[in-house]
Amino acid sequence: MELFPLQSFLLLILLISLSLYLYLHFFDSSNKHKHTGFKSYPILGALPGFLKNRHRFLDWTTEILTSCPTSTGIVNRPIQIRGVITANPANIEHMLKTNFENYPKGKRFISLIEDFLGDGIFNSDGELWKVQRKTASYAFNTKSLRNFIMENVRVEIESRLIPSLDIAAETGRRLDLQDVLERFSFDNVCKLAFNVDPNCLGSGGGGKSESTDFDSNLNPDQFMHAFEEATTLISGRFFYAFQFMLKIKKFFNFGSEWRLKQSISTVHSFACKIIKSRISDEQLEDHQDLLSLFIGIPENTNSSNFLRDIVISIILAGRDTTSSALTWFFWLLSSRPHVERAILNELEMIRVRNGKSIGDIYDLDELRDMHYLHAAISEAMRLYPPVPIDTRECLNDDVLPDGTAVAKGWLVTYHAYAMGRMERIWGTNCREYLPERWLTEDGTCRHESVFRYPIFHAGPRICLGKDLAYIQMKSIVASVMERFVIDIQDRDTCPEYLLSLTLRMKGGLPVSVRRRRFNIVEDLKAMLLEIAGVYATHALRQSNKIAHRHARYVFSTTCKCSWFEEPLDFVCGVLLSEKCNC
């Protein structure tokens, strides 16, 4: 009896405290999110917003960062985990360079993917990372590796990529360009990492299937699929709203965690087999790949697991990045005939200067001379960065240059995708695809600060494969564009993206391919259509009837397509006609 009033009293106190807490938190957060960006709720933090916008995570976070005064937002995740997302170049310089030691990958990131990557360069900090970085930087900068890369790219283009596009052009078969490019880069990076040719493009991309270096028990697609599955499932671990759910799945080893274990085991056992045979290979110096370089360095421990981890890290780092960049590039190009023409003109100029013909592979110096192409690819990555966000963990309390306080243990993410859409960085036309913004007056491609354009990361951990990536991407684009026209059916609808470690296109990029005809009639036709386009634009802007008549005349003498009278159809007609192949 006596206890009852005490219980009621305690309950009352509890209710009052809870209401006060909820009120203060709501009141507090509704005011605070105006400055910190992300609306926060008691206990749940920003989770409701995240769940509502999960399918458009990058655009949602971009909108919020754009509204923040310094392009930096604070995110309260459920159960008091806090973090910062920033698109501010000064903050990025601080975390990736000036105060590098304070922003490692961190235990949380490392523990999420260590069953796949072990202590590999991509997944380690401190001394473990430094040792691998030193070895890998040395290897990436050797002349022999550069030649090896050039040769691999040449072989892959000539014997697989071009034949598979040729077949598609001949048969009219539609291709998933993203898949073709992913197969290309997987073949390429496996050659680079351990001189193994999985022949994924030859076997599944429509080209000829050749003999491979693979063990007969493991077909090429199996290894690629195991790698792909492991990467997809492991990146899914980052998007759990509640990490304890992942822990339960891991503990009981069911669902995606069970599948992940199987695919990791396939990848690991394959890599170990190659490593063992290479270590005992007496002709080690005949191999020029990274694994052989690592084995050949005397001070290396050469433990099988060390080598396995570094090789798998490199395959992961180089696998989907170039294919992601080129998939978005080809989509952007499909609705910009003037950019396509500028690239073709540049290629022609280089061919004429060096006495080359269409189909010859370009050497390093010629690739370096492709400034417009370099600009066009860099611009595509500005809008669609292959690694759209990247996260570090704060080691000790700190204050970022824009004044944002960061506490020990917070996750700090830089948002390269949002940065490409910031007027503060790129001006009012930031959302437009304009390769010209990269060109200097003399037509060379200008250098951009890595902190405004952190596509390849920055500071001591800057991407090691940047040069290799440009070699690969420019060689592919030049060879494909010279010989083929890529038709993308739905080119005016922006494809949806898939959130994984890299920015992939949801559903791939279905295309059809035509052989490009290079003759004087085609060139003349293209030129006349350009002229019709200029008249048409003038006619529309100035309501100029004479320009309209000229456009109509030039168009109808060049093209068999029907003409349009209405102003809007009129422009569409001319724009379409630029691609017209009648």
Closest residue by beta carbon to ligand HEM: 465
CB of 523 to ligand HEM, least distance (A): 32
Nearer to ligand HEM, 153 or 264 (CB): 153
Secondary-structure breakdown of the chain: helix, strand, coil percentages, each rounded to the nearest 5: 65, 10, 30
When asked if residue 122 is in the footprint of ligand HEM (CB under 6 A), the reply is yes
Cα gap 245→261, rounded to integer Å: 17
When asked if residue 77 is in the footprint of ligand HEM (CB under 6 A), the reply is no
CB of 254 to ligand HEM, least distance (A): 29
Per CB under 6 A, the list member of 321, 334, 479, 577 interacting with ligand HEM is 321
> Annotated binding site: which residue ranges?
463
25 burial type by CB count under 10 A (0-12 exposed, 13-18 middle, 19+ buried): middle
Per CB under 6 A, the list member of 82, 97, 108, 133 interacting with ligand HEM is 133
Nearer to ligand HEM, 186 or 535 (CB): 186
CB of 115 to ligand HEM, least distance (A): 18
Three-state SS for 160? helix
Cα gap 418→522, rounded to integer Å: 41
Nearer to ligand HEM, 95 or 314 (CB): 314
Region near ligand HEM per CB under 6 A, out of 48-56, 91-99, 318-326, 437-445? 318-326
H/E segment holding residue 505: strand 503-505
Per CB under 6 A, the list member of 293, 325, 499, 559 interacting with ligand HEM is 325
Cα gap 342→484, rounded to integer Å: 16
Tokens of 306: 């060390």
When asked if residue 112 is in the footprint of ligand HEM (CB under 6 A), the reply is no
Nearer to ligand HEM, 362 or 470 (CB): 470
When asked if residue 390 is in the footprint of ligand HEM (CB under 6 A), the reply is yes
Contact yes or no for 542/534 (Cβ under 8 A): no
Contact yes or no for 381/389 (Cβ under 8 A): no
CB of 450 to ligand HEM, least distance (A): 10
Nearer to ligand HEM, 161 or 168 (CB): 161
The interface mask with ligand HEM, positions 217-256, x = CB under 6 A, is: ----------------------------------------
Nearer to ligand HEM, 264 or 450 (CB): 450
Which of these, 334, 348, 345, 341, lies nearest to 529 by C-alpha position? 341
H/E segment holding residue 224: helix 220-236
Residues within window 172-191 making contact with ligand HEM, judged by CB under 6 A: 189
CB of 131 to ligand HEM, least distance (A): 11
Contact yes or no for 231/224 (Cβ under 8 A): no
DSSP 79: T
Contact yes or no for 404/393 (Cβ under 8 A): no
Cα gap 198→562, rounded to integer Å: 49
How many residues of this chain interact with ligand HEM, rule: CB under 6 A? Answer: 24
Which of these, 209, 233, 232, lies nearest to 221 by C-alpha position? 209
Residues within window 398-457 making contact with ligand HEM, judged by CB under 6 A: 455-457
When asked if residue 394 is in the footprint of ligand HEM (CB under 6 A), the reply is no
Per CB under 6 A, the list member of 113, 233, 317, 450 interacting with ligand HEM is 317
> Annotated binding site for heme: which residue ranges?
463
Region near ligand HEM per CB under 6 A, out of 60-68, 319-327, 481-489, 546-554? 319-327
Nearer to ligand HEM, 317 or 478 (CB): 317
CB of 413 to ligand HEM, least distance (A): 11
- Using alpha carbons, list the distances in angstroms from residue 341 to 333, 421, 474, 481, 515: 10, 26, 16, 10, 16
Residues within window 454-493 making contact with ligand HEM, judged by CB under 6 A: 455-457, 461, 463-465, 468-469
Residues within window 358-387 making contact with ligand HEM, judged by CB under 6 A: 386-387
Q: Note the Cα 496 to chain centre separation in Å.
A: 14
Phi-psi region of 43 (alpha: psi -120 to 50; beta: other; left: phi over 0): left
Strand pairing report for 411-415 and 503-505: unpaired
Contact yes or no for 145/290 (Cβ under 8 A): yes
H/E segment holding residue 400: none
Nearer to ligand HEM, 117 or 485 (CB): 117
CB of 56 to ligand HEM, least distance (A): 22
Nearer to ligand HEM, 343 or 387 (CB): 387
Contact yes or no for 220/203 (Cβ under 8 A): yes
CB of 430 to ligand HEM, least distance (A): 19
Q: Work out the end-to-end distance of the chain between its first and last CA atoms, rounded to an integer number of angstroms.
A: 95
Nearer to ligand HEM, 33 or 461 (CB): 461
DSSP 413: E
CB of 362 to ligand HEM, least distance (A): 18
Q: Nearest-5° angle of CA 539, CA 545, CA 550?
A: 75
- Helix 220-236 to helix 106-117 angle, to the nearest 10 degrees? 160
When asked if residue 33 is in the footprint of ligand HEM (CB under 6 A), the reply is no
When asked if residue 314 is in the footprint of ligand HEM (CB under 6 A), the reply is yes
When asked if residue 121 is in the footprint of ligand HEM (CB under 6 A), the reply is yes
Tokens of 119: 């202590």
Phi, psi dihedrals of residue 525, rounded to the nearest 5°: -60, -45
Nearer to ligand HEM, 288 or 558 (CB): 288
Give contact residues for ligand HEM (rule: CB under 6 A): 121-122, 133, 136, 189, 192, 314, 317-318, 321-322, 325, 386-387, 390, 455-457, 461, 463-465, 468-469
